[in-house]
Chains A and B, each alone.
Chain A
């Protein structure tokens, strides 16, 4: 097979990607998808204010193409650029020229910026539609891609803008971001979309394994030549499916926006009552029979102005009932994906000796929360329900013991029956959700979608390398499959920690 496009154009393709030629020309080259991990010098963007109720959202851009973004989207040509000055501009879509919003734009030429690179900020109106439109417009510019977790901070470190003491904090930040991304990925991975991506990954892995086997073993062992023909078909199918998926906008599942709050606990602890109390209507059926709730009951709520999705789940217990067992499985899945878990405990089930209560609760928590979360008490609220069923004296003992003990998440004592303690609980819930909403990571679906698109496009492009070299150089063909798998792996989130590490060490210049 002949290389369909010569190296001159091929190299040109990289050039196009990195500089600012109209994006339609990138379609010409067969190798447009320079794998993300190999071109870290690109320009990145992200929503850097929290989501939820906010008047102004800030979108940050960092990298060499920042000025391109200002020119194409805010009409700031070189002569109009004034460093560190806020300008009120119309923000337009670079392709359709449609006005997306009117807002402030700022330009921070490097090295005098947070990241040390040329940077720009778009201060736009906080509605989700505007934010999504601006992020998508940025993503359509050549050389721009959504930022990875912690990437702005890492670039700052790279540029010597952060001291070593701040690096200590960076460790925690990266941990938080990895966690947030993991949860975000999990949420999206459990639906049809997730199954689709997982299926692609496993097929791609198989393809790679077969090509590698053919390279390393076919001379000595009996590996039929047919193996490669199967790979050819699989790669073609995968490519076609991914391309179809990329074209079909509707296939993207609507992502649930808002902080995911999951109510979990043992059966009959009063989880559904809590849900009903919170939404002030009987959204879920309540009864004194253990195991009443079997599926997940989901309600969107506005808690103190912040969007939240409240999910009531089946009580966690071993049950012989198949339907209930499925409910429990779903409940555990939800807890795994939650931003905030409300663990509901029936006060009457606590040990009668109040001194033992903290240890009991600790044990109870670890049976409910997923392993990674056990140490992270800030993402959990402990709700001790049915205070109306215990004596006042015991209750005070309990409160004293709880104050004394450490390591437990915030505890609220309430009674869904009498609404006792509800105000305090709502205040605690509000402050937790507020903290989570202030964190841009707890759910920015449009950014995640943009990232998925970018990785899928890289994946498809890398697969075309397989075909290009299939008959002339199997090592280079296999390289294409390797790169495709890496790109897809960044969506499925399977190797999250490992990948974040890759990025850390790519962006940090160690040993200087």
Chain B
């Protein structure tokens, strides 16, 4: 398989300061702007796909910094971490390295909604990401600020009005050229910081605001629609000042479960894990909020903030008279700070202190305990309305420009990492002239995330929940490797062969074990004799196989293995996965038909440059306008649009069906030609369906 060029030697270059002539002359395949969760995954993924990649970030030492909460995963988010890991991304392994408190949320609610989560050591996380990036072949990291995007005429063979050709850095030096650019600027797009009544430009406290040039290019030159969102971060609390006797201790899992499919254990030993503490707000907090409202310009404005990670002001105002949870989370093994999850606010510093001291365990807190960079502030920032993106996260109107992370209106590290990975994969493929790849919402949470973004857009910061996934019982954290790693290697090219081989081994072993379970068929009476009283229901003459037995609560795979050691003990490694599989398999079988239907729809792509307003089929003006505005990339996305009628979809289907046939024919001719030109060089080409 052609995975592009430069497969050989490790090429590590870190450049600080002014850009050298060497760099300027160099042409990269992919440039990634931003070194947060989206940017780091994007850069690593592009390089894995085989692209010569340059990561440009304001400060090299903040690459991989956790700028908000020191934790990873959770319900829904944990699914994303598992999937990013299954596609050979960084955050799962980084979490295993940096985790200092592991727990699986929703443990009692069923494996489909388990939420693997960990508190992280900020320093260890940053170190892991940096050392991974700096040892990634084909990846160069450069410190600098991007002034503008370089644009040129579009490639007439492809849809779009512009083509990106590189970037210009802020210090006015020569441009750096690349075939594709991934923007992961987070909250820095026209970001402003709020604290009390003071406002300053910037995306994060302590960092310079990004240049206005990039914002300008996106809005004015590319004509992208942008919206505005807000977010915020809580203060940091000095550990020594906390009266822990007034908070309740929350212990981690006794045995940490790693995020990564490659890891069997975490770096942190079980007994070295640090606890979290839980406390609550008091009526005094509510009083402080109400009395200081006039001093708080962030909360007064009506920019959309998240409903699910709201500031303490919003929570208190929306649900008065209630206790609200505040978690005190460790910031690291050696850090003397705690992170009060649930206390983000934007008041003036002195009011912040008053409020914090209304919370019982924090009553001893003094002002000198808080540095400026450790106080709360709010951020308002621009995001690009993500309906302007393709499922490959490419800007539809601009060839080679990809966006990922908060710039697309999402919130959260995991959401950013997932998009970053997928944007990086596609940016790399674009640069290497490989067709784009998309993930379906039937196969992954990443697919759900991207489909929601590009076909529905966002009205508030988008966060992943398990309830967003229609096929939740099939898309589980435990089977992310089987869902994605094989495809990631065979079709996408972003997975190392080491990981692939492991996934193949797991798949084959699971298949063997399941076959062994299914082939062991016994009458209920015999099962009862073997396993004792496990609550097998009294149905006469019924026979059950091993899979059926595993669906019983009090039957474990270990029990079967000790009863039939020669059959099952070789598979003990997968006990838990087999038990989960046995319970979910019947439900997944039921869902499969529906999933296939959606996949069929999604395989039918609508040309991005389709002229809906003059399409020669019978469509109402209203439907034409909806289609023209949203430009769904597949028929599947079109059906999910509000205002589409069944008749319109049939008309569209028949039109696309007809033109599809024509195009496929001409595409095949082109390929034949290409094949001859390339002299037998095989390429991984995905034909449009």
Chain A interfacial positions (CB closer than 8 Å to B): 1-11, 34-35, 37-40, 164, 167-168, 170-172, 174-175, 178, 212, 214-222, 469, 472-479, 497, 500-502, 504-506, 508-511
> 7 pairs across A/B with beta carbons < 8 Å?
A164-B657, A171-B651, A174-B647, A218-B106, A222-B323, A222-B325, A478-B472
Structural contact, B75 and A174, CB atoms closer than 8 A: no
Closest to A40 in B: B593
Closest CB-CB distance, B114 to chain A, in whole Å?
9
Interface-forming stretch among B27-35, B225-233, B436-444, B541-549?
A: B541-549
Structural contact, A220 and B325, CB atoms closer than 8 A: yes
Closest CB-CB distance, B120 to chain A, in whole Å?
17
Number of interface residues of B (CB under 8 A): 70
Question: B residues within 8 A CB of A4?
Answer: 537
Closest CB-CB distance, B343 to chain A, in whole Å?
14
Closest to B590 in A: A38
A171 to B654, CA, bound (A): 9
Closest CB-CB distance, B172 to chain A, in whole Å?
47
Closest to A172 in B: B647
Known contacts: A168-B651, A510-B600. The answer to whether A174 contacts B473 by CB under 8 A is no
Structural contact, A510 and B604, CB atoms closer than 8 A: yes
Tell me if B332 counts as interface (CB < 8 A to partner A).
Answer: no
Closest to A6 in B: B548
Closest CB-CB distance, A154 to chain B, in whole Å?
10
A479 to B591, CA, bound (A): 11
Structural contact, B548 and A7, CB atoms closer than 8 A: yes
Closest CB-CB distance, A255 to chain B, in whole Å?
25
Known contacts: A7-B551, A38-B591, A511-B604. The answer to whether A474 contacts B649 by CB under 8 A is no
Pick the contact of A472 from B105, B106, B553 — CB < 8 Å?
Answer: B553
Structural contact, A469 and B110, CB atoms closer than 8 A: yes
Closest to B550 in A: A7
Structural contact, A8 and B324, CB atoms closer than 8 A: no
Structural contact, A474 and B110, CB atoms closer than 8 A: yes
B residues 623-682 touching A (CB-CB < 8 Å): 635-636, 639, 644-651, 653-654, 657-658, 660
Known contacts: A174-B646, A476-B583. The answer to whether A505 contacts B473 by CB under 8 A is no
Closest CB-CB distance, A4 to chain B, in whole Å?
6
Tell me if B113 counts as interface (CB < 8 A to partner A).
Answer: yes
Tell me if B57 counts as interface (CB < 8 A to partner A).
Answer: no
Tell me if B574 counts as interface (CB < 8 A to partner A).
Answer: no
Closest CB-CB distance, B376 to chain A, in whole Å?
19
Known contacts: A220-B325, A476-B473. The answer to whether A504 contacts B587 by CB under 8 A is no
A175 to B584, CA, bound (A): 38
Question: A residues within 8 A CB of B105?
Answer: 219
Question: A residues within 8 A CB of B472?
Answer: 475, 478-479
Question: B residues within 8 A CB of A478?
Answer: 472
Structural contact, B601 and A510, CB atoms closer than 8 A: yes
Structural contact, B536 and A6, CB atoms closer than 8 A: yes
Chain B interfacial positions (CB closer than 8 Å to A): 74-76, 105-106, 108-113, 115, 308, 322-325, 465-467, 472-473, 535-537, 539, 542-545, 547-548, 551-554, 582-584, 586-587, 590-591, 593-594, 597-598, 600-601, 603-604, 617-618, 635-636, 639, 644-651, 653-654, 657-658, 660, 689
A172 to B587, CA, bound (A): 36
Structural contact, B466 and A215, CB atoms closer than 8 A: yes
Question: B residues within 8 A CB of A39?
Answer: 593
Structural contact, B587 and A476, CB atoms closer than 8 A: yes
Structural contact, A2 and B553, CB atoms closer than 8 A: yes
Structural contact, B113 and A475, CB atoms closer than 8 A: yes
Closest CB-CB distance, B306 to chain A, in whole Å?
13
A60 to B543, CA, bound (A): 40
A6 to B552, CA, bound (A): 8
Interface centre among A168, A221, A479, by most B CB within 10 Å? A479
Structural contact, B466 and A506, CB atoms closer than 8 A: no
Question: B residues within 8 A CB of A171?
Answer: 618, 646-648, 650-651, 654
Closest to A176 in B: B647
Pick the contact of B646 from A34, A164, A212, A501 — CB < 8 Å?
Answer: A501
Structural contact, B110 and A473, CB atoms closer than 8 A: yes
Known contacts: A168-B654, A469-B110, A473-B110. The answer to whether A505 contacts B583 by CB under 8 A is no
Structural contact, A7 and B647, CB atoms closer than 8 A: no
Pick the contact of B645 from A9, A168, A497, A510 — CB < 8 Å?
Answer: A497
- Contacts A4-B537, A475-B113, A504-B653 given; 18 further ones with Cβ under 8 A? A7-B582, A167-B657, A171-B654, A174-B647, A174-B650, A216-B75, A217-B75, A217-B308, A220-B74, A222-B325, A473-B112, A473-B583, A474-B108, A474-B113, A475-B472, A475-B473, A476-B583, A501-B639
Pick the contact of A3 from B322, B323, B552, B657 — CB < 8 Å?
Answer: B552
Question: B residues within 8 A CB of A504?
Answer: 646, 649-650, 653
Closest to A12 in B: B542
Closest to B582 in A: A7
A397 to B583, CA, bound (A): 78
Question: A residues within 8 A CB of B74?
Answer: 219-220
Question: A residues within 8 A CB of B112?
Answer: 473, 475-476
Question: A residues within 8 A CB of B597?
Answer: 502, 505-506
Structural contact, B654 and A474, CB atoms closer than 8 A: no
Structural contact, B604 and A497, CB atoms closer than 8 A: no
Question: B residues within 8 A CB of A222?
Answer: 322-325
A510 to B605, CA, bound (A): 11
A300 to B18, CA, bound (A): 90
Question: B residues within 8 A CB of A9?
Answer: 539, 542
Closest CB-CB distance, B247 to chain A, in whole Å?
16
Interface centre among A164, A214, A475, A502, by most B CB within 10 Å? A475
Structural contact, B544 and A8, CB atoms closer than 8 A: yes
A56 to B539, CA, bound (A): 49
A469 to B473, CA, bound (A): 13
A500 to B111, CA, bound (A): 33
Structural contact, A510 and B649, CB atoms closer than 8 A: no
Closest CB-CB distance, B217 to chain A, in whole Å?
38
Question: B residues within 8 A CB of A505?
Answer: 597-598, 600-601, 635-636, 639, 649
Closest CB-CB distance, B522 to chain A, in whole Å?
11
A475 to B308, CA, bound (A): 21
Question: B residues within 8 A CB of A506?
Answer: 593-594, 597
Structural contact, B586 and A215, CB atoms closer than 8 A: no
Question: A residues within 8 A CB of B473?
Answer: 475-476, 479
A217 to B75, CA, bound (A): 8
Interface centre among A3, A4, A171, A222, by most B CB within 10 Å? A171
Structural contact, B467 and A175, CB atoms closer than 8 A: no
A506 to B536, CA, bound (A): 38
Question: A residues within 8 A CB of B617?
Answer: 168
Known contacts: A2-B552, A171-B618, A215-B106. The answer to whether A479 contacts B646 by CB under 8 A is no
Closest CB-CB distance, A167 to chain B, in whole Å?
4
A81 to B584, CA, bound (A): 42
Structural contact, B653 and A508, CB atoms closer than 8 A: yes
Closest CB-CB distance, A505 to chain B, in whole Å?
5
Structural contact, A10 and B586, CB atoms closer than 8 A: yes
Question: A residues within 8 A CB of B660?
Answer: 511
Question: B residues within 8 A CB of A164?
Answer: 654, 657-658
Question: A residues within 8 A CB of B646?
Answer: 171, 174-175, 178, 497, 500-501, 504
Closest CB-CB distance, B584 to chain A, in whole Å?
8
Closest CB-CB distance, A216 to chain B, in whole Å?
4
A171 to B591, CA, bound (A): 28
Structural contact, A6 and B653, CB atoms closer than 8 A: no
A170 to B647, CA, bound (A): 8
Closest to B639 in A: A501
Structural contact, A475 and B654, CB atoms closer than 8 A: no
A354 to B582, CA, bound (A): 77
Question: A residues within 8 A CB of B545?
Answer: 8
Structural contact, B106 and A3, CB atoms closer than 8 A: no
Closest CB-CB distance, A152 to chain B, in whole Å?
15
Structural contact, A7 and B654, CB atoms closer than 8 A: no
A6 to B465, CA, bound (A): 31
A38 to B548, CA, bound (A): 22
Question: B residues within 8 A CB of A214?
Answer: 109
Structural contact, A497 and B653, CB atoms closer than 8 A: no
Closest CB-CB distance, A450 to chain B, in whole Å?
22
